[in-house]
């Protein structure tokens, strides 16, 4: 078995058997491509079936010089899953990463924005900004509002469809990881800004494969993840906000602000689309004073 064949078969397995999203599959595949690049650069002639622990150790040691411990841990986990798949398919009997430990890393707390930070970012948007006759300022405002008010992942945002909007019921349908769908509440303010954008969108010559996509570029095509990062980066620079802000920061802020204001963790889990409640529990780091208030208010022996 050659590396490319193994990689292709593994990608099919991740898609069909595990139901992972395109982005997740690309991330898993990227780990294996890094390993094959290392093997080629060092003229190491081994196949996925014959590679051993010593070669993997040398690879990890080499690559550890250029990536942080968290990235190392993710790389090791990705490769371990790949070789577990080869064992599952009876190509191997052992996993060469079984004796390799991941670096110890602390639990990373998510960055968050305050409500005033978010207001500053939104207020900095030039609502009259146009490009090729398309008002992109109104589009950008509705994008930021949707990211924050609905707690979406960036991939969920760019894939959001007009047919996913159920404004009369107060919900949007979101397709998350593994094509799992959930309904997320959407408030009247965000609905208003989206409707303003839709009125503008109706005058754009939309490409055939983007007819139902909500957020488009001026050419009428679906936005990319990179474009959302660029929009946010420019707003952060314009505002002078000294924080590391990405699309995911708005998702973290959404969950944090809900928790601070007394929302149930289980409800937050459902809105975020987390498969496990333990993933949502990372937001429990926020506002310790709020947790004390809960104790004082509800515990019988306060």
Catalytically active residues are: 153, 177, 248, 251, 274, 283
Residues linked to residue 216 through DSSP beta bridges, in sequence order:
222
Neighbours of 146 (CB within 10 A): 25
User: CA torsion 155→156→159→163, rounded to 10°?
Assistant: 180
Neighbours of 93 (CB within 10 A): 8
CB distance 92 to 53 below 8 Å: no
Sign, CA dihedral 73-159-190-204, equals positive
CB distance 7 to 33 below 8 Å: yes
Rounded to whole angstroms, how far apart are CA atoms 22 and 16? 11
Tell me, rounded to whole angstroms, the distance of Cα 222 from its chain centroid.
17
Helix (H) / strand (E) containing 258: helix 247-260
């Amino acid at each position: 078995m050659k590396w490319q064949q193994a990689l292709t078969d593994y990608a099919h397995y991740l898609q069909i058997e595990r139901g992972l999203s395109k982005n997740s599959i690309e991330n898993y595949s990227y780990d294996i491509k890094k390993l094959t690049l290392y093997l080629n650069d060092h003229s190491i002639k081994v196949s996925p079936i014959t590679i051993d622990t010593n070669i993997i150790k040398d690879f990890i040691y080499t690559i550890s010089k250029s990536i942080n411990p968290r990235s190392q841990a993710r790389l090791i986990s990705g490769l371990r899953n790949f070789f577990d798949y080869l064992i599952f398919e009876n190509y191997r009997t052992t996993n060469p990463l079984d004796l390799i430990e991941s670096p110890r890393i602390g639990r990373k707390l998510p960055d968050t924005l305050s409500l005033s930070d978010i207001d500053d970012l939104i207020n900095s948007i030039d609502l009259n900004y146009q490009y090729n006759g398309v008002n992109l300022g109104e589009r950008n405002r509705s994008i930021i509002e949707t990211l924050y008010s609905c707690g979406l992942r960036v991939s969920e945002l760019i894939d959001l469809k007009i047919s996913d909007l159920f404004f009369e019921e107060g919900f949007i349908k979101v397709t998350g990881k593994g094509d799992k769908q959930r309904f997320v509440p959407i408030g009247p303010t965000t609905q208003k800004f989206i409707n303003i954008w839709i009125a503008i969108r109706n005058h754009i010559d939309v490409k055939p494969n983007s007819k139902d996509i909500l957020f488009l570029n001026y050419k009428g095509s679906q936005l990319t993840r990179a474009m959302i990062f660029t929009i946010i980066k420019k707003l952060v620079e314009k505002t002078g906000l000294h924080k590391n802000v990405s699309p995911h920061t708005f998702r973290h802020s959404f969950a944090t602000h809900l928790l601070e204001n007394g929302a149930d963790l289980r409800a937050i889990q459902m809105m975020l689309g987390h498969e496990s409640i333990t993933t949502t529990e990372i937001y429990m780091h926020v506002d310790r004073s709020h947790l004390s208030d809960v104790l004082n208010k509800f515990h019988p022996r306060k």
